[in-house]
Structure 1
Amino acid sequence: MTKNALIHYRILWKPTGNQPGAKRGSSAGIGDQLRALVLLRDHPDPRRTDLRASMRDPFEQIWVRDFNLNASLKVIVLADASASMGYQGTVNRLAVTEDITSQLALSAYRSGDAFGFYAANSEMINKLTLPTRINRSAWLWVKQHLSTLEPSGNNADGLLKVSSLLPKQRCLVFVISDFRWTKDKTAKLFKALNHHDVVPIVLQDPSEIDQIPNRGIATLQDMETGRTQFVWMRPALKTQIAKARIEHIKTLQDTSRIYGYKPFLVKGKFKPESLTQYFMERSV
């Protein structure tokens, strides 16, 4: 974990709650965003007296500034633990998941935000559940526990069950997966999470296309079912596989757009600054 590898995430909404943090909240309190001018008797804090407003008042009443509280938010990661996440090509897909999650956990703590983690395949994995709270060692917990995970199962339907366990107030939720799901299952999960601010993080591996030979016998394996198939590779088949991959991403983007989300693609290794750039562009 490098010292400067922090992710600076931005949100376009105001978190609720009274837990102090770095984000502009919607409740009254100590912050840097002026909320209103109120009478001293209603907000007895003479340190925030507004002299100009008080001098202009014909009734000679004392007015003070009322600010929005700088509040913390809840950052939650949902990780796909199905068999396809065990794919190892140019990179180890599970190791990339671990890297992203640990960086988010550390970044959340440095921002004064709560962090939570859930993993699921066909069922929620209880031993890989970290309750959402401010936790300075959450990134270390992630590294210790994800390193023991063995992806299994042919789906990630357990994430739907996790969605019902999330806090009722709006959270920043990251869904990390290769999204090798049907369009209907993706839409069902996104609909269940629609109350939250969701960032789908799509893991791709360059070897899935770039390292496939143009000609010759190749062994293709379905990571979800474990089935293998021998095929005679040729340029037309490789083009067909590449086209299917592009269509898969387009379908995911279209489904995400319906719910107001924007997928973040990780091709190979994860770079924290690229996710920070994603949030910068999203806030424009």
Structure 2
Amino acid sequence: MSDAAPGQGVPQVDVPYRLDWRAAGVRIGAHRGKVEGAGGLFRDHDLLVRSPDPRRIDLRMSLRDPFGNLYVKRFEQKTSVTVYALVDVSASMGFAGSVDKMGVVADLCGALAASARRIGDAFGLIGCDETIVPEFLLPATRSRGTEADMVANLRAFVPKGHGAEGLLEGASYLAGRRKLVFVVSDFYLPLDLIEAVFEALSQHDVIPIVLRDPRETRDLPRYGLVSLADLETGRRRLYAMRPSLRAALMREEAEAAKALRALAMRYGRPPFQVVGRIDWDRFGAYLMGDAA
């Protein structure tokens, strides 16, 4: 896995992902499918009368049948899937501390799009604040030409929307055949909204990606005056920071993370947290099921 150059075009990173379900598509790809084909992995044997293809008669299996039945080998056709990034682009995603969150989103979506295309999958993007943002409604495609523009637009975008209810609208856009859906957000959202989004996506394989900046809570000083802003509402509050308040804020963040993980696990996979920039090796291990 190669490194991405931060802020520079489409990241040259291979992002491996493995499905634990059989795709129903008919287009040849890299994933295990439900459709029989001429090649791929051996699936099972069947009677010739039920699968009438004499080219695949298995003489050894047939000779072992005391009733003289003829058996054929059946193979599993490798197939492609559709991958989408459903991205929260509301105001809180405009936080720029140690990193620019939208720059991290651009790196992630660019790498996913390029990796999907290389193995024959289609990639699409839906960006939402209060509604779906038109410039970030990009239907899934296997075309290479859209990646650079998508990444550039994400880097240049300044989030302003007060809320992320559009994620529900984006989830309804994805109805149909099962897809691999990356839900990308800082998840500073009401838990009931998050649950509604996961429920709307329950027919799909959902991967929550949590974006965090160390300066949001982890790098708070132990003492001093700190001005904290709610980017969704625009409100600011001045705090006299002290160890007990700092510990309470960090405890609140840990409890929210625990609640999100429990909710995500009900619908499939645990969330993957990105603190600062993306650790591509750790991300790849997570997607391959080696780490959570």
TM over 0.5: yes
Deviation, 1:60, is 7.2
Deviation, 1:236, is 1.3
Equivalences for residues 128-143 of structure 1 within 5 A: 128-143=136-151
Alpha-carbon distance in structure 2 between the residues aligned to 1:116 and 1:45: 41
Find out whether 1:37 has 2:49 as its counterpart.
Answer: no
Higher mean displacement: 254-263 or 170-179: 254-263
- 2:204 maps to 196
Find out whether 1:269 has 2:277 as its counterpart.
Answer: yes
Alpha-carbon distance in structure 1 between the residues aligned to 2:254 and 2:150: 31
Change (3 A) 1:155 1:42: same
The two structures have a TM-score, normalised by structure 2, of 0.89
Corresponding residue SS for 1:143: helix
Write the letter of the residue equivalent to 1:244.
E
Higher mean displacement: 134-143 or 220-229: 134-143
Write the letter of the residue equivalent to 1:32.
L
Instruction: List runs of 5+ in structure 2 lacking aligned partners.
Output: 6-10
Q: 2:110 aligns with which of 76, 99, 102?
A: 102
- 2:8 maps to none
Instruction: List runs of 5+ in structure 1 lacking aligned partners.
Output: none
Aligned 8 A contact 1:103 1:139 in 2:
no
Alpha-carbon distance in structure 1 between the residues aligned to 2:50 and 2:227: 77
Equivalences for residues 143-158 of structure 1 within 5 A: 143-158=151-166
Corresponding residue SS for 1:79: strand
Q: 2:87 aligns with which of 60, 65, 79?
A: 79
Higher mean displacement: 195-204 or 50-59: 50-59
- 1:8 maps to 16
Deviation, 1:281, is 3.0
Task: Please list the CA deviations of residues 111-143 of structure 1 after superposition, one character each: whole Å capped at 9, or x if unmatched.
Answer: 211111100000101211111132233432321
Alpha-carbon distance in structure 1 between the residues aligned to 2:237 and 2:200: 36
Equivalences for residues 85-96 of structure 1 within 5 A: 85-96=93-104
Aligned 8 A contact 1:12 1:283 in 2:
no
Q: 1:177 aligns with which of 185, 194, 197?
A: 185
- 2:75 maps to 67
- 1:232 maps to 240
Find out whether 1:250 has 2:254 as its counterpart.
Answer: no
Change (3 A) 1:125 1:45: farther
Corresponding residue SS for 2:208: strand
Aligned 8 A contact 2:30 2:119 in 1:
yes
Aligned 8 A contact 2:12 2:111 in 1:
no
Write the letter of the residue equivalent to 2:127.
A
